[in-house]
Amino acid sequence: MTGFSISEDFLQSENAPRKSALDEDYTALSRSLARRGIDSEALTRSVMAFGVAIPTWGVGSGGTRFARFPGPGEPRHLFDKLEDCATIHHLARATPTLSPHFPWDATSDYAALREIATGYGLSFDAVNSNTFQDQPGQAHSYKFGSLCHVDRAVRAQAIAHNIDCITIGRQLGSRALTVWIADGSNFAGQSNLTEALDRYLESMAEIYAALPADWRVFLEHKLYEPAFYSTVISDWGTSLAAAQELGPKAQCLVDLGHHAPNVNIEQIVARLIRFGKLGGFHFNDSKYGDDDLDAGSVEPFRLFLVFNELIDAERRGAKGFAPAYMLDQSHNVTDPIESLLQSAIELQRAYAQALIVDRPALAAAQAANDALGAHLELKRAFTTDVSPILAMARLRAGGAIAPIEIYRASGYRKQKVSERPQVTGTSAGIV
Ligand code: LRH
Ligand code: MN
């Protein structure tokens, strides 16, 4: 790390005065969990093994179509982003991987990039392609679509870009490609709904054929936006059918914000697991649309219910169950590092709470049609404050007992302001 970083000494000096309170809380919680037959040491080890990928586009300030207000000490390029990702992992010890986006993260030497990331103790999860924006000098515009465009030349350009992303990903040690496309229409009649899907499947078959043997391709569905009448891959059903048609390396990625309000996302997760097609997640939260808010900040119970399905699948050894956990958020009004720290912790929390569900008691209540009894088994886990377990897991993994307090006390952002010339003026768009 060339610039300022939070030193080990500083971290230890901040952890030390917090240690005895943590030990007290941890012991108290361990006793209460032991009365429920739960081993807090085993739980802490499970939490220490939990990891979620940081979206490289999430460490800069996000925006909307109306405006983006760059924050102080913004990352200027990929290497600043890596520095910030390393700081997040140093404090929370829950984000050992990155999910890059191309061409936003394009650079000249990917082997060097991989080396720098390895130096930070970071590796690469799924790479994301981008055929929803036109790049300078691009031959064909994606205004009317990409993989589903009526013009073969535009489809070929989009296919080639996805294959380039695979080539880059191989240099980074990634083993998956996430394909989200904005393709759709704004008027009834503008697009032939069936032919658009046929063109998607034809294009995806070419991308699929370029996948290395040990790779997966994640199909990311989204109900709407930027298309507002029809979206080609609009829901989990279309995504599932497409993944089944493409082959075993194709799976479905669930971005929590890509559903209509009040949709039962945990059941969609259960269904995709049942069909062996759950590839992974873009975790975030939302109240209305694809709000890309911080995970667990609006609907923490829903996040817990999603992890409840994941642990249920893990426990019964569901076939082909190896979901990739990634965040996908837009930090418009917070310090992105703080939001990503807290979001990683909220995912650890939902994971730990799902692990302490008394599954035999839940199954017994379900078998007895004891509706409230079953519900209360989940509520008991969800209302258990597992914070001491999460903090102890961070501490034992070399992280911070109180990540955001210690991050603020470190003055990291202030240092970055002096190291990174201020990005002036507002722009529009998510990054
Ligand atoms: C689309 C999406 C997709 C991306 C982008 C940054 O809404 O969720 O995953 O590539 O956000
Ligand atoms: Mn997403």
Give 47-91 pLDDT, tens digit per residue: 999 999 999 999 999 999 999 999 999 999 999 999 999 999 999
* Nearest atom within ligand 1 for CA of residue 430: 6
Residue 29 has pLDDT above 80, yes or no: yes
Separation between Cα atoms, residue 136 and residue 344, nearest integer Å:
35
* Ligand closest to CA 328: 2
Dist. CA 57 → ligand 1 center (Å): 10
Residues 413 and 233: their CA atoms lie apart, in Å, by 39
What residue ranges line ligand 1, CB within 6 angstroms?
57, 128, 180, 220, 222, 255, 282, 290, 328
How many angstroms separate the CA atoms of 406 and 401, rounded? Answer: 8
Residues 6 or more apart whose Cβ sits within 8 Å of residue 200 = 147, 148, 181, 183, 232, 233, 242
**Cα separation, 391 vs 48, whole angstroms:** 10
Average pLDDT estimate for 302-326: 97
Lookup: tokens for 306: 């999603």
Contacts of 320 (CB under 8 A, 6+ apart): 248, 276, 277
Q: How confident is the model at residue 318 (pLDDT cuts 50, 70, 90)?
A: very high
Å from CA of 53 to ligand 1 middle: 14
In this predicted structure, the answer to whether residue 419 has a pLDDT above a threshold of 60 is yes
**In this structure, which amino acid lies at residue 415?**
Q
Residue nearest to atom 1 of ligand 1 (CA): 180
Q: What pLDDT, on the 0 to 100 scale, is given for residue 426? A: 58
Contact between 356 and 384 under an 8 Å Cβ cutoff? The reply is yes
The confidence score (pLDDT) of residue 421 equals 79
Which string of DSSP letters, residue by residue, matches 245-274? HH-TTEEEEEETTSS-TT--HHHHHHHHHH
Kindly state the tokens that stand for 286: 């939302």
Least confident range from 6-10, 135-139, 203-207, 419-423: namely: 419-423
| 381-387-390-396 Cα dihedral, nearest 10 degrees | -140
Nearest-CA residue for atom 3 of ligand 1: 180
Mean pLDDT of all residues in 391-415: 98
Q: Which residue, judged by its Cα, is nearest atom 2 of ligand 1?
A: 180
1 pLDDT above the threshold of 60: no
> Considering only CA atoms, which of 9, 19, 5, 7 is closest in space to residue 402?
19
- How much distance in Å is there from the Cα of 282 to the middle of ligand 1? 8
Q: Is 425 exposed, middle or buried (0-12, 13-18, 19+ CB in 10 A)?
A: exposed
Looking at residue 131, what is its pLDDT?
A: 98
Nearest CA to ligand 1 atom 7: 290
pLDDT for residue 96: 98
The residue among 230, 246, 245, 251 whose CA lies nearest residue 182 is: 230
**For residue 333, which amino acid is it?**
V
Q: DSSP characters for 311-374? A: HHHHHTT-TT--PEEEE----SSS-HHHHHHHHHHHHHHHHHHHHTS-HHHHHHHHHTT-HHHH
pTM: 0.97
For ligand 1, mutation pick of 177, 180, 221 (most atoms within 8 Å of CB): 180
Give the C-alpha separation, 126 to 72, whole Å: 29
Query: Are the C-beta atoms of residues 147 and 183 closer than 8 Å to each other?
Result: yes
Testing ligand 1's pocket by substitution, the residue of 178, 220, 252, 327 carrying the most ligand atoms inside 8 A of its CB is: 220
Residue partners of 95: CB distance under 8 A and separation at least 6: 51, 52, 53, 54, 85, 88, 89, 340, 344
- From the list 416, 275, 260, 273, the residue with the least C-alpha distance to 335 is 416
Say whether pLDDT at 229 is over 70: yes
How confident is the model over 245-260, as a mean pLDDT? 98
Give the burial class of 70: count Cβ atoms within 10 A of its Cβ; 0-12 exposed, 13-18 middle, 19 or more buried.
middle
- Residues 134-164 have pLDDT tens digits of 999 999 999 999 999 999 999 999 999 999 9
Residues 6 or more apart whose Cβ sits within 8 Å of residue 169: 124, 126, 127, 175, 176, 177, 215
